[in-house]
Amino acid sequence: MALGTPLAWLVSRTNMPWRWLIRFCVFGAFVAPGFVNALSWTLLAGPNAGLLNKWWMALTGANSGLLNIFSMSGLVLVSLATIYPLAFLFMYNAFEMMDSEMEEAARTLGASTWRIVRTVTLPLALPALIVGFLMMFLETLILYGAPAFIGVPARIYRKRAVEPLALAMGI
């Protein structure tokens, strides 16, 4: 929600350039299955053969790449890249359907942008925020493609790597 909501607000409520391209790319990420996303991140950020890491090593002369997708942070990155379009979708539609007259009235009365967002926009978008959060939570529970595709080769499934996460989740 922290990534999708501000991006949806920027695309729907501002006149930023290339809005149509950002919306197209987010919807493209939405329709891509999780295993395709995981495979593409493996090809981009694999520690030895990833394209981004090869470019990084060629540019800087470093001995190792910048990214290691076969780690817990890599799993989080892939999961985030797979899930955030849901938040964008819910929030973009909410912002588009929301009447902007109340925001314009607050702006005319001298309210700052942050105050308008905090007191007008977010309360009107609260139902979409709640539903988007619930859908993202459920989709995260379902999403097993990235951990299986990336975590198993990296041996993240071993007890010592999973135990702190299991303890934090109460399992």
Q: How many helices (H) and strands (E) does the chain have?
A: 10, 0
Q: What is the identity of the amino acid at 59?
A: L
pTM comes to 0.69
Please state the φ and ψ torsions of residue 80, each to the nearest 5 degrees: -65, -45
At CA 2, angle to CA 97 and CA 116, rounded to 5?
50
> What is the C-alpha to C-alpha distance for residues 165 and 11, in angstroms, rounded to an integer?
35
* pLDDT interval class at 105 (50, 70, 90): very high
Closest of 104, 86, 80, 81 to residue 13, by C-alpha? 104
* pLDDT interval class at 157 (50, 70, 90): low
Q: Flag whether pLDDT at 21 surpasses 90.
A: yes
CATH dotted code for 4-169: 1.10.3720.10
Percent of the chain with pLDDT over 90: 19
With beta carbons less than 8 A apart as the criterion, state whether 151 and 71 touch: no
Average pLDDT over residues 24-31: 86
> What is the C-alpha to C-alpha distance for residues 133 and 130, in angstroms, rounded to an integer?
5
